[in-house]
């Protein structure tokens, strides 16, 4: 017959419910079924196998159960998440005079109150603790701090903490966790410091795991480094290093996170997933895929976190082939049916443009919940399919009558994209009725929607009424104001944010810097740069790209180059593209080409945006061979199908004198748009092929291609080169009468040049009188050139009178008039004009030309 100790050993080694029931049967036959230690062990084991009803039967069968059994039964219910039952047990226990709750009882029931979010019951139990004079107990104090902080009553949590005469590391951990979870990240860090310096208590791994999420919210890398230094000198489990990797990544220091990852011994699947998620968080999607490939080459199993990050990387890079490969791996590892993985797969296909595949995958997800619906809606909205997103939202309403805040945040951007203000307002009404309008994410999405629809009064009204505002809400308004060129209001909102006591985040700086660029105010940009240094954002790639762009657009190219070459800054493809665009903005085409070659020889591959940015440099320099080399790279990289690239190629070949190659690129395009047709029109115009330009324009009209002011400018320019006066007149009038496009000053300059070449000066003067705007230098310059061509001194004098006011520093106009006087034999007037040029310090610019030597 098995002894008491033998039964205890059997129970301790029990690994399954079947084994437990067999051991239980032996215990009954051995007569130990009413033994308190064995019964306690049985209750605990049954609860661990989610059989709290079996535990309760054992409890009820025990005559006069002692306190340890009451505590075990309360704990069993908590383990089974039956918090209400555990509180009922506590109430029954309170009715027994001989049973007095101890510190374990109160610790368990406080967890039950937390699980139920039953604040009133928690307060009552706190009163019972005080009555029993147990509030100084470490276990109970920890439970009270945990309960109050998780229910949002941080004041009461602080009171309990401050009253405790002795605090061990567990108490400090509970307080740090509570403060961090309540959003008080600064106070959490202060507690961490005080714990070590004032109280001389060494933080445990739990302390660090509680604190590091607060560091992520603060985005304060200095605290990260402090914790890193502490961890470096001691031995901690892998989970702490994983949290440190996460914190560094969320502070924008993914390069340091990678260093921690590379030095970490005994990496687990969480380590790989965390590092990949960190790269994804910072927009380093190519690095995500590189890490995923490394993990695969080592033969490691793919975790759900790794799979989700890799799918996000393929979606953002548009790498459909890689996405399909990862999909196959999820099937092999049998995780493709998981709702999160299935949702990530669907999002990936949507972002890669495989909309039909994404839709089919979504409808095959088993157990679609609101999260899956919301993710699908967001995926289609972000993939340029807002109509599909709204359609899904309507389907979802048929399945779920009440969308939650996550769903609303997903569908509102689709309304903004389609400018569907009426639907957006109805969603806003739904949010108010459902009490979700106070939710920060929903409110921010609505503010952003109204701003994108240019309904700023509605956006500001909602913004001012929001009970809680986060930095992201301010960013929504700042970004939109900057996007539409309302720099004053963008900067005003930024100042309001600072005065309201908010700390800007990298998104704020990325939003407000373009306002300085638009204002061409480098001093203001430098002030913002100081703020960036102050808040420690210089390592943030997006912020640095915005700074480079701002300095370049403000003409401070040396500052842009200095920022680009900073070693602390982890450059990405956008950084190179921004620098190349900066060189072009300032007219440094050779430097742009040099940067392009440096990028190619480095670790970065030029993308579609890079190619579209560098081709204008080739056009400017008329480097045909360079252009053809880039065209070969385009074909090799599969970029020729991108309209942006093809349109730039048409322009480049035209400017390099290869009209036939421009035509060939256009003809090979599978899908053309109005920009493509305009590029071809401009090419013909540039080469004086007026008849061809008119034919292309006519074809555009027949095919229903949208014609715009650029189309008309190109065809007018072609008519001007060919001297097609009647056709030019018709085109100009058709622009206003048929298409209702008001000509701008460039169209008038073109028509003046066309009429001037034909010597129709009276018609020109009548045209100038009817212009709705003041003629600029281009108009008067065209008239002056026409006067020179036809030796019309009277008209030339009128043109020069206006030109000297508009373009005071241009000597060419005086040279033209002086030549006219000389041709007409008016030598004194010619000399007088030259003397006047010298008196005001003007010199004739020497001519020059350049050819590309083969």
On whether both 772 and 826 belong to a single domain, the answer is yes
850 within some domain: yes
Check residue 848 and give its pLDDT.
46
For position 811, which CATH number holds? 1.25.40
* Nearest Cα to Cα of residue 279 among 303, 248, 301: 248
662 within some domain: no
DSSP conformational letter for 368: -
On whether both 794 and 728 belong to a single domain, the answer is no
362 within some domain: no
Let me know: does 723 contact 757? Beta carbons within 8 Å: yes
Higher pLDDT, 366 or 272: 272
- pLDDT band at residue 551, thresholds of 50, 70 and 90? very high
- 99 φ, ψ (degrees, to nearest 5): -100, 120
Higher pLDDT, 702 or 47: 702
Given 743, 776, 803, which residue is the final one in a domain?
A: 743
CA pair distance 528, 519, nearest whole angstrom: 14
- pLDDT band at residue 732, thresholds of 50, 70 and 90? very high
Burial class (CB in 10 A: 0-12, 13-18, 19+), 129: buried
On whether both 725 and 781 belong to a single domain, the answer is no
444 within some domain: no
CA pair distance 359, 355, nearest whole angstrom: 6
On whether both 732 and 773 belong to a single domain, the answer is no
On whether both 738 and 777 belong to a single domain, the answer is no
Domain region containing 782: 763-854
Given 692, 708, 743, which residue is the final one in a domain?
A: 743
On whether both 696 and 767 belong to a single domain, the answer is no
837 within some domain: yes
On whether both 830 and 780 belong to a single domain, the answer is yes
Higher pLDDT, 554 or 42: 554
Per residue in 238-257, is it b (16+ CB within 10 Å) or e — as a string? eebbbbbbbbbbbbbbbbbb
pLDDT in tens, 509-544: 999 999 999 999 999 999 999 999 988 888 788 899
On whether both 785 and 728 belong to a single domain, the answer is no
On whether both 702 and 780 belong to a single domain, the answer is no
pLDDT in tens, 638-690: 888 888 899 999 999 999 999 999 999 999 988 888 899 999 999 998 898 88
* Nearest Cα to Cα of residue 304 among 279, 257, 339: 339
CA pair distance 292, 323, nearest whole angstrom: 12
734 within some domain: yes
On whether both 775 and 846 belong to a single domain, the answer is yes
On whether both 712 and 769 belong to a single domain, the answer is no
If one counts the domains in the chain, the total is 2
On whether both 767 and 711 belong to a single domain, the answer is no
Let me know: does 611 contact 630? Beta carbons within 8 Å: yes
Let me know: does 300 contact 269? Beta carbons within 8 Å: yes
CA pair distance 311, 313, nearest whole angstrom: 5
- The CB density around residue 267, as the number of other CB atoms within 10 Å, is 19
322 within some domain: no
698 within some domain: yes
* Nearest Cα to Cα of residue 482 among 502, 508, 449, 500: 508
* Region of residue 606 (phi > 0: left; psi between -120 and 50: alpha; otherwise: beta): beta
In this prediction, what percent of the chain has a pLDDT beyond 90?
Answer: 30
pLDDT in tens, 572-601: 888 999 999 999 999 999 999 999 999 988
pLDDT in tens, 177-211: 787 777 677 777 778 778 877 777 777 888 788 77
- Percent helix, strand, coil in the chain, to 5, is 75, 0, 25
């Amino acid at each position: 017959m098995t002894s008491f100790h033998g039964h205890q050993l059997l129970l301790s080694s029990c690994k399954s419910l079947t084994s437990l029931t067999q051991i239980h049967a032996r215990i009954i036959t051995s007569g130990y079924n009413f033994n308190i230690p064995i019964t306690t062990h049985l209750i605990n084991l049954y609860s661990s196998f989610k059989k709290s009803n079996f535990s309760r039967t054992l409890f009820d069968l025990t005559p006069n159960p002692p306190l340890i059994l009451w505590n075990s039964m309360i704990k069993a219910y908590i383990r089974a998440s039956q918090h209400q039952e555990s509180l009922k047990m506590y109430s029954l226990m309170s009715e027994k005079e001989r049973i007095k709750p101890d510190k374990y009882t109160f610790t368990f029931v406080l967890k039950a109150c937390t699980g139920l979010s039953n604040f009133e019951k928690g307060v009552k139990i706190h009163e019972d603790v005080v009555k029993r004079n147990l509030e100084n107990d470490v276990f109970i104090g920890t439970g009270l701090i945990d309960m109050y902080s998780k229910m949002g009553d941080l004041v009461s949590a602080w009171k309990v903490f401050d009253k405790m005469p002795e605090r061990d590391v567990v108490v400090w951990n509970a307080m740090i966790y509570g403060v961090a979870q309540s959003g008080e990240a600064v106070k959490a860090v202060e507690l961490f410091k005080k714990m070590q310096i004032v109280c001389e208590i060494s933080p445990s791994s739990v302390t660090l795991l509680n604190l590091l999420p607060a560091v992520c919210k603060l985005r304060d890398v200095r605290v990260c480094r402090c914790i890193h230094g502490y961890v470096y000198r001691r031995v901690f489990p892998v989970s702490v290093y994983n949290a440190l990797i996460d914190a560094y990544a969320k502070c924008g220091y993914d390069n340091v996170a990678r260093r921690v990852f590379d030095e970490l011994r005994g990496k687990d699947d969480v380590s790989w997933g965390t590092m990949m998620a960190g790269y994804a968080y910072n927009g380093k999607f190519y690095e995500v895929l590189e890490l995923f490939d490394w993990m695969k080459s080592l033969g490691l199993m793919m975790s759900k976190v790794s799979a989700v990050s890799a799918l996000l990387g393929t979606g953002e890079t548009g790498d459909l082939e890689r996405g399909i490969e990862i999909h196959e791996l999820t099937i092999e590892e049998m995780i493709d049916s998981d709702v999160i993985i299935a949702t990530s797969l669907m999002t990936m296909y949507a972002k890669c443009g495989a909309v039909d595949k994404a839709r089919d995958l979504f409808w095959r997800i088993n157990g679609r919940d609101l999260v899956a619906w919301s993710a699908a809606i967001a995926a289609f909205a972000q993939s340029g399919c807002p109509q599909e997103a709204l359609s899904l939202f309507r389907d979802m309403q048929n399945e779920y009558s009440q969308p939650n805040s996550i769903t609303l945040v997903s569908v509102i951007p689709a309304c903004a994209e389609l400018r569907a203000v009426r639907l957006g307002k109805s969603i806003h009404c739904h949010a108010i009725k459902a009490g979700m309008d106070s939710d920060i994410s929903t409110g921010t999405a609505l503010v952003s929607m109204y701003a994108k629809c240019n309904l700023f009064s509605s956006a500001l009204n909602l913004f001012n009424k929001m009970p809680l505002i986060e930095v992201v809400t301010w960013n929504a308004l700042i970004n939109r104001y900057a996007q539409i060129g309302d720099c004053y209001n963008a900067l005003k909102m930024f100042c309001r944010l600072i005065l309201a006591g908010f700390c800007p985040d990298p998104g704020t700086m990325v939003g407000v810097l373009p306002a300085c660029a638009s204002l061409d105010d480098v001093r203001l940009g430098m002030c913002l740069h100081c703020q960036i240094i102050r808040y420690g954002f210089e390592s943030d790639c997006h912020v640095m790209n915005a700074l480079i762009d701002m300095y370049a657009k403000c003409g401070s190219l040396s500052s842009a180059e200095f920022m680009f070459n900073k070693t602390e800054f982890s450059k990405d493809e956008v950084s190179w593209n921004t620098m190349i665009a900066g060189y072009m903005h300032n007219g440094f085409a050779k430097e742009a080409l040099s940067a392009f070659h440096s990028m190619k020889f480095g670790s970065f591959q030029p993308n579609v945006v890079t190619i579209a940015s560098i081709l204008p440099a080739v056009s400017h320099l008329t480097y045909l061979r360079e252009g053809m080399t880039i065209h070969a790279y385009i074909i090799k990289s599969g970029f020729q199908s991108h309209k942006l690239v093809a349109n730039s190629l048409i322009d480049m070949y035209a400017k390099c004198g290869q009209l036939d190659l421009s035509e060939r690129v256009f003809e090979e395009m599978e899908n053309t748009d109005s920009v493509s047709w305009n590029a071809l029109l401009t090419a013909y115009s540039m080469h004086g092929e007026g008849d061809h330009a008119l034919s292309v324009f006519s074809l555009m009209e027949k095919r229903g291609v949208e014609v715009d002011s650029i189309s008309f400018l190109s065809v007018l320019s072609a008519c001007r080169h060919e001297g097609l006066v009647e056709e030019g007149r018709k085109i100009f009038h058709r622009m206003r009468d048929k298409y209702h496009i008001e000509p701008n000053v460039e169209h008038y300059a073109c028509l003046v040049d066309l009429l001037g070449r034909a010597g129709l000066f009276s018609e020109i003067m009548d045209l100038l009188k009817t212009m709705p705007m003041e003629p600029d230098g281009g108009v008067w310059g065209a008239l002056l050139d026409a006067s020179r061509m036809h030796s019309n001194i009277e008209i030339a004098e009128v043109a020069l009178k206006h030109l000297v006011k508009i373009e005071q520093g241009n000597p060419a106009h005086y040279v033209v008039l002086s030549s006219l006087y000389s041709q007409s034999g008016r030598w004194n007037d010619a000399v007088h004009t030259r003397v006047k040029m010298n008196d005001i310090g003007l010199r004739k610019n020497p001519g020059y030309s350049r050819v590309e030597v083969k």
